[in-house]
Copies of this chain bind each other. A is one copy, B any other.
Amino acid sequence: MRYTIGELARAANTRVQTIRWYEQKGLMPCPERTQGGQRRYDEAALRRLKFIRHGRELGFALADIAALLSLQDDPQAPCRKAHEIAESQLADIRGKIARLQALEKELQNMLCPRPDGTSATCKVIEVLANHALCLHGRH
């Protein structure tokens, strides 16, 4: 089974350009080409693309995914590195969740009263104008 780039994109729920971009960045291998120069992919390419997309859905940076792919390519490689990458990603996600929950609270607070009146009495604008949010760390 050989895929055109468009078929591969549909199969992995991605865009055509994204695949070409991964190729340019070295995450996807340069595939075979037809005589006319069009890319043709195989099953292995589809698996690799899904791996990348799944990693992206989990919030991994492309550099991290590249590292995980090279670990995957070498079955002898120690797992510790992959573990470290995933662990730091988990810590990152937990930080983001905590931060977003604080934002959620403050926004809820803004939205308590009815959305009537003029901006002079608007709580949304009042909150933004008067309170400083103290969130430690960066997003």
A120-B75 in contact (CB<8A): yes
Q: How far is the CA of A82 from the CA of B110 in the complex (A)?
A: 10
A50 on the B face (CB < 8 A): yes
- For A74, what are the chain B residues with a Cβ–Cβ distance below 8 Å? 119
A91 — nearest CB in chain B belongs to which residue? Answer: B107
A79-B128 in contact (CB<8A): no
A30 on the B face (CB < 8 A): no
Q: How far is the CA of A129 from the CA of B90 in the complex (A)?
A: 18
Which one of A58, A59, A85, A111 has the greatest number of beta carbons of chain B within 10 Å?
A58
Binds B, one of A2-10, A16-24, A32-40, A131-139: A131-139
B71-A128 in contact (CB<8A): no
Q: Binary interface profile of A, 105-129, with partner B (CB < 8 Å = 1, else 0)?
A: 0111011000111111111110011
Q: How many copies of the chain does the oligomer comprise? A: 2
A61 on the B face (CB < 8 A): no
- By secondary structure, the A interface counts as helix
Partner of A119, one of B72, B93, B110: B72
Give the Cβ gap from A8 to chain B, nearest Cβ, in Å.
15
**16 pairs of residues in contact across A and B, judged by CB atoms under 8 Å:** A50-B132, A55-B128, A58-B107, A72-B128, A76-B119, A77-B119, A78-B117, A78-B118, A78-B119, A79-B122, A86-B124, A90-B108, A94-B104, A96-B100, A97-B97, A100-B100
